[in-house]
Chains A and B, each alone.
Chain A
């Protein structure tokens, strides 16, 4: 009798948990090889994009990748008993069975967010896998779009510009193009000094499950917050978030010799007086990636301002110009000393 009571109590507790947390997380969908066709197979959302499962830990980034002014909602799912460890440089190691979940959308007139797509990074035994899901028009579920998709979108930028663009959901290979390191797939955003956990619940949840290095870690400058660092620090943070996923020694642009994952300085590898290699018409008739003192003569700025697919940088996921980011880097280059100026 007592046993039955206990079983019932457990059952009750379990159903209560499910009711509280939403659907059960689809461990098999995360862990087993295969490409689940629907996002609902994972149980990350409770029937709608704006209803995340309570088991997810929301976070944001100090320096997000610019994606055509899309707003993003980021979540971490950790398997039961899984521990996260943060390395001395801030690199975050997740346990097998983890998922990183990122939804992209634009503000609706009623102030809510019209979520277009949700991208998953799943850590399986064989390594990370990236999958893009596009929400149905009725918002009930999202379908795997392994070949990517273009969606017409109109929105207003923070400065009040009205834009109509062809929004690009990346295909599975394009996910890897940005997320590759030495031919393996890796998360980009979750670097500890860049991560923000807003809610107390999220802070507590992550703290309980994370091991930190002994030396402690400094927060990065925030690209759009002058109080967080000087112009070089903020420019470096912007370049790290927006360029370094390809422009690193192990990334998709390893052959360029232009690297933004290291400390940035007056080096060729940072673009300083670096001549173009395989830029083609991307150079726009300019001689250097960065021509100190002259943003208008710098290929870096030219390519950030372009929307032409043969010229534009980043190559993927940008159909608009990030005016605010361009201005930051223009100012940084304008303030750079000319060569030989001591």
Chain B
């Protein structure tokens, strides 16, 4: 009994405290120590100014909030980083990150792995030199987590994806701005996500929903992309070759690959030179028996389309556009899987299928044709809900 009481005292804090850390000499050691010595319920408060850091930071304590004085004021500067694969790594649950900025990490910006119920709120992750292949891969990078809330963040310059959610479940990415990344926002190998009220501007591809083979969690599904503005994603692809996003055509608005139950609605899309909405299968070849390379049950409705398709950036694209009178329509599907995989198109805009139903065939063998109407509009997927404690943080 006494032992149990002692245990309780040791694990639950009597009163949560605020640990303040200011910028200045030895910022690395002081901030990292604060992150290690924090106890559940504590707030690690970052002061104003640039924290000059030499190594990755990490947090492994549950229920800790890291809070700065705003994305223009509290800046974690990794320009001189010597080690670690990311700027800030979170491996504990119920963590809140808010009101600070991460700049110029050598690898990923902020990564959270196996970190359930994480809140990313009012953050900026930026490579300040703009788009460059030498920039880190992901800006905000939750992976293998349940209940992920990304709200009101700004990401710029990622050489892979600005916001990348991988192998996770129950996800919301909203009210955020992704500029000049290869992929603005990417949901990969994940289940149950809402991506809404974001602006994806000047990326190579605005919003991607992908599934890749040979990974522990596959079969991406149930993703809604709605009420976003996806405009002018014409930054030439600057991803290092070999990465899957290096294959994303410059000028892509929303792209879906190898997922099922995807709903795209109420978005404003335009000035995307390849396509506003691009639906494809995974064509890189795989022998993973547990992987489905086809994209199934995609539906779109009430999206507003502005100009698209005048500069299709994929092999054979120009020729196909020429055959269609110089430009691709704003919506196209590669045709993978054939008729039963045909997406539902409820948009008031032309849509074609490239007709390449064989997933192993080259896209240059396309026989483009209008997507035939007649698909049934599916029932709307339910809205994603976060635990109340997470929404309460944002208030």
Contact = CB atoms under 8 A, between A and B. Distances in A.
B32 A280 contact: no
B187 to A, nearest CB: 14
Contacts of B244: 275-277
B133 A281 contact: yes
B372 interface: no
Nearest to A183: B114
Contacts of B287: 268
A18 interface: no
B58 A171 contact: yes
A278 B138 CA distance: 8
A254 B214 CA distance: 12
Contacts of A249: 216
Contacts of B215: 255, 257, 277
A316 B143 CA distance: 20
Contacts of A161: none
Interface in A265-316: 268-269, 274-288, 299, 308-311, 315-316
Contacts of B29: 145, 147-149
Given A176-B60, A255-B215, A315-B85, A280 B242 contact: no
Contacts of A145: 29
Contact of A280 (B35, B37, B82, B136): B136
A286 B240 CA distance: 8
A280 B240 contact: yes
B320 interface: no
A309 B212 CA distance: 25
A334 interface: no
A168 interface: yes
Nearest to B61: A173
A324 interface: no
Interface in B79-109: 81-85, 89, 91, 105-108
Contacts of A171: 32, 36, 55, 58
A147 B36 contact: yes
Among A166, A177, A309: residue with most chain B CB under 10 A: A309
B160 A280 contact: yes
A173 B107 contact: no
Given A147-B28, A310-B105, A283 B242 contact: yes
A116 to B, nearest CB: 16
B242 A275 contact: yes
A319 B28 CA distance: 18
A283 B241 contact: yes
B252 interface: no
A166 B242 contact: no
Contacts of A319: 82-83
Interface in B185-241: 212-216, 240-241
Contacts of A176: 60, 91
B385 interface: no
B242 A285 contact: yes
Nearest to A174: B58
Given A147-B30, A171-B32, A280 B144 contact: no
A147 B29 CA distance: 5
A283 B243 contact: yes
A214 interface: no
A283 B82 contact: no
Contact of B113 (A255, A268, A277): A255
A102 interface: no
Interface in A237-265: 249, 252, 254-255, 257
A55 B29 CA distance: 34
Given A173-B59, A310-B136, A147 B54 contact: no
Contacts of B58: 171, 173-174, 177
A146 interface: yes
B25 to A, nearest CB: 14
Given A280-B138, A283-B243, A168 B83 contact: yes
A268 B216 contact: no
A150 interface: yes
Contacts of A282: 107, 137, 240
15 contacts: A147-B28, A147-B30, A147-B32, A149-B29, A171-B36, A172-B36, A173-B35, A183-B91, A268-B287, A278-B166, A281-B137, A281-B159, A282-B107, A309-B83, A315-B107
Interface of B: 10, 28-33, 35-37, 54-56, 58-60, 81-85, 89, 91, 105-108, 113-114, 133-138, 141, 143-144, 159-160, 164, 166-167, 212-216, 240-244, 284, 287-288
